[in-house]
Structure 1
Amino acid sequence: MTKHRCKWCIGDPLYESYHDNEWGVPLHDDRLLFEFLVLETFQAGLSWITILRKRENFRLAFDNFDYHKIAQYTDQKKEELLQNSGIIRNKLKVNSAITNAQNFIKIQEDFGSFDRYIWGFVDGKTIKNAWKSQEEIPATTPISDRMSKDLKKRGFKFVGSTVMYAFMQATGMVNDHTVDCFRYNEV
């Protein structure tokens, strides 16, 4: 029997695996939340499949998304990243990963964890939508608008509302699997 999946992932084994195993699963681990934050910021203006194909390279290049290490990156490390063809070599995005790591740590200090801070925007619970088609799914919501505005106020970069809504989808803050998808009731 064929599994019914969200339309956006069909046809690429990497995309389907990501959809089936990760997308929309509620995440509460700060390191993983930081990984998705970095990946989503690098995705801005690109397709998610481009980022997924480079994900292992990003993990290697960015010390497995250890935000304490990233917050301390030197100019030499930045230059090394900009020469790394395995990742997206965008100076502003590389700089933003470092700035965002520093601000991520500040949020942990202020809230006890990034998880507590970020999930506070949805009162600690996944928002379960009931979309019948991919076309119904919004690119932003009032919550992603508020999240984006607050993160920017705290010094984060590349965290526009569209990026933050994609982050919410990826980390299970919203369940945007379509109702006919086999994952809809599983996550």
Structure 2
Amino acid sequence: MLKKRDLQECHALYDLLVHPEVFPFVRQKAYCYDEFLFLTKQTIEAEERGETISRTILDEWGNPIGTISLFDIQDNAGFLGTWLGKPYHGQGYNEPAKAAFFHEVFFELNIKTIFMKIRKLNIRSMKAAEKLPYVTLANESRKALYEEINVTGDLYNLYEIAKDQYTLHTMREGNTVHEAQHLKEA
């Protein structure tokens, strides 16, 4: 479902990235394939320096369908950026990809907090975030950060996923990542 980023998947991902319903909402905008290749190389290097964690989201056949990343990592916290290619919207890939990524960053890489800044115009992403039981709207509780991300105008909502809240959720629900993988293997 997830793998570390590499340059071999760039063609497939770039073709998905440039769709008009995807492109406006991605953090790393590439206006041509070579630029996307360069940005991917920078992302891989940033992960080696501990500034970013980035994974490719794969479908059940191992095809790249999007990316999920934690950017601007400081003090064991960072900002989530995720996108799926248009053909994969509404196909059930978002939630398991996030579960696998959150499991890795919280339990293997010692991240304590994940923030999501979502454009108020991006209704699809806000609805996806708000249906996750471990996500908290943090516009008021993290007021200084909310104001920082909206310095140019009231564009974003700020959401927070705390490791403790996510851990409690996984304890209540059982280890759904491993159960889902077991079902796919069967």
TM-score w.r.t. the length of structure 2 is 0.25
Q: Which has the higher relative contact order, 1 or 2, with Cα contacts under 8 A spaced 6 or more apart?
A: 1
Could you say which structure has the higher helix fraction?
1
